[in-house]
Amino acid sequence: MVDITARQRLKLLAGAAALMSSACGGSSTSAPPTPIGVIPPTTPPPTSPTGFTLSEGLLRDSFRNNFSVGTAITANQINAGDLSATLAQSQFNVITPEYELKPDQIAPTEGEYNFGPADRIVDWALSNNMTVRGHALVWHEATPAYFYEGTNAQIRTRLENYITAVMEHFAGRITVWDVVNEVTSVDIYRGNDGVGPDRDTEWFNAVGNADYIDWAFNAARAAAPGAQLFLSDYETENPFKMNWTMEIVRRLLERGVPIDGVGHQFHLQLNTPASGALAAIDAVSNEFAGLINHVTELDVSFYQDPGTCWQSGTNCSPDLGPMAPPEMLATQASLLRELFLGLVTRPSVESVNVWGVRDNDSWLNFAPTQRTNFPLLFDRAGDAKPALRAITDQNYVI
Ligand code: GLA
């Protein structure tokens, strides 16, 4: 949910994280990676100051009859003793590598693949009985410029080769992929008479239309016929944007392009109504029988900024400081309880993934500007926040 300026900042962060992860993880062409720390099964469950005990598997088991529950992590976090890794292993059953599967991490140079950091996360997740969401094969961010060079035939072949190489490398290990990420127009505030449904991106401009989406899904199905293929986008909780996402999905299905589901990032704010998010899920399942819904990047920011903050870093809401205001924690808990109560009644929802483990892990501490944010289910100390308690215990008084 960020504009280009904020994205540019994120790219820098992604680059830094990649450097850190390659420093501790290695690549397929360098020395063998440092052995991955095994989290001791005897680690005592964290007990919060209020006496709440986070039992092993509480979060994932609370939804075991409904959907899997995942989180995002980076390769440099999966070391023995890392608190976020420990919590991920204890509470979640799906992992999304936060950066390591993006094109600029996998193939910074055309035809040369660096699977080391992604392999490290994937193997760690599998060895901890978690599955992996592959994120993302096609995105207009974190993508080297060479992808956009040449004729349409050259662009298409290069894209198909990339998708085939990546999916074949992870064959049997990753069976769910965000094939395209954020392809819906962001010009949503003009209503339905804007420029949608296709987003004006480097991919769209290089090809001259949105055919690259079809190419990507067709190549993905051919490379891994059994994998679940997703289109994932942000702000689908906004009905204007969701209408355009629906138009793209409708178009794909009409053309026989293989798509299995829609991913809803759900980067929410404290004042986002849960009803909008649930309506997006319903839109998919009501119109497209058989399509799956995933929540792919859930978080709830404590800041409500004007557009100028995202566009140019100006007029951003002031930093709340290191302590989360209790009334905001309560609002976050209420919103997430309402959302999860709605999600469990919707059988098309097969996986719900939050974008990070502890509040300090979140990208929202840096975007759209550097501030302390509190968007996730665990606080900086690793204690379960009111939101986690509210979604796992209906008797918990918010
Ligand atoms: C988007 C992407 C994610 C991540 C976040 C910000 O939502 O899909 O991979 O980069 O932005 O961290």
Compute the distance between CA of residue 375 and CA of residue 358 in angstroms, rounded to an integer: 9
Q: Are 350 and 335 in contact (CB under 8 A)?
A: no
3-class SS of residue 10:
helix
Burial (0-12, 13-18, 19+ Cβ within 10 Å), 116: buried
pLDDT at 24 over 50: no
Print the domain residue range for 278.
6-17+51-392
In a domain, 154, yes or no: yes
- pTM of the full structure: 0.88
pLDDT for 216 equals 99
pLDDT at 38 over 80: no
DSSP strand pairing (292-301 vs 349-354): parallel
In a domain, 33, yes or no: no
* Mean pLDDT of the region 283-295: 98
pLDDT, the chain, mean: 89
CA-nearest residue for atom 6, ligand 1, is: 363
Output the CA 36–ligand 1 centroid distance in Å.
25
pLDDT at 167 over 80: yes
Beta carbons within 8 Å of 35's beta carbon, 6+ residues apart: none
pLDDT for 109 equals 97
Q: Are 297 and 351 in contact (CB under 8 A)?
A: no
CA-nearest residue for atom 3, ligand 1, is: 98
Instruction: Give the residue from 32, 42, 178 showing the smallest Cα distance to 103.
Output: 178
pLDDT at 372 over 60: yes
Instruction: Give the residue from 39, 24, 37 showing the smallest Cα distance to 89.
Output: 39
Output the CA 41–ligand 1 centroid distance in Å.
32
Catalytic residues: 182, 297
In a domain, 63, yes or no: yes
Q: How many domains does the chain have?
A: 1
In a domain, 38, yes or no: no
In a domain, 43, yes or no: no
CA-nearest residue for atom 11, ligand 1, is: 1
Output the CA 75–ligand 1 centroid distance in Å.
16
Listed range (45-54, 178-187, 307-316, 378-387) with the worst mean pLDDT: 45-54
pLDDT for 193 equals 59
Instruction: Give the residue from 131, 129, 133 showing the smallest Cα distance to 96.
Output: 133
Q: What separation, in Å, do the N-terminal and C-terminal C-alpha atoms of the chain show? A: 28
In a domain, 24, yes or no: no
pLDDT at 14 over 60: no
Q: Ligand 1 pocket: which residues have CB below 6 Å? A: 10, 135, 181, 234, 265, 297, 363
pLDDT at 1 over 90: no
CATH number of the domain residue 210 falls in: 3.20.20.80
Listed range (147-161, 190-204, 343-357) with the worst mean pLDDT: 190-204
